[in-house]
Structure 1
Amino acid sequence: MASRSDFFVSSRILGFFVLSLLPTAEAFDGGDAVALLLGMTISIVGFCACLGWYARTRNGQL
């Protein structure tokens, strides 16, 4: 009998395969590209801010 981790690995591979069949999004103009870059930048900065907040509360500095 297959282990539980084998099931998760095979389901991830199947999920990536299904996602690869979907059509990709294309930037139609410069505004779309700028919005994508701005959104990614805000997301990364927000993630780092949350990570820093978590680290400070874990160390008792906040």
Structure 2
Amino acid sequence: MASTGDISKMFLALLSLLCLLPVVEAVEAGDGIALLLGMFLSLTGICACLGIYARKRNGQM
């Protein structure tokens, strides 16, 4: 599983790529922020589900 440092490096890389894109309208900037937020929440949800699965498999729950 990825460590906190790896996740923060990935987030910073995605954020820096977003900053390189030219912002034409505020709607496009909002779409980019929504995309990053959606990716972050999806990754968090996947990690949470994997953690629950691992605990159930090990008999800790």
With the shorter chain as reference, the TM-score category is 0.5 to 0.7
Q: TM-score, normalised to structure 2's length?
A: 0.58
| Gap regions ≥5 residues in structure 2 | 1-19
User: Counting helix residues as a fraction of each chain, which structure ranks higher?
Assistant: 2
Q: Which runs of 5+ in 1 are unaligned?
A: 1-23
- The answer for the alignment partner of 1:38 in structure 2 is 34
For each residue in 1:22-48, what CA deviation from the matched residue of structure 2 results, as whole angstroms up to 9, or x when unmatched? xx4211110110000000111100000
Higher relative contact order (CA 8 A, sep 6+): 2
The normalised TM-score by structure 1 is 0.57
User: In structure 1, what is the Cα distance between the partners aligned to 2:21 and 2:50?
Assistant: 34
Runs of 4+ in 1 over 4 A off after TM superposition: none
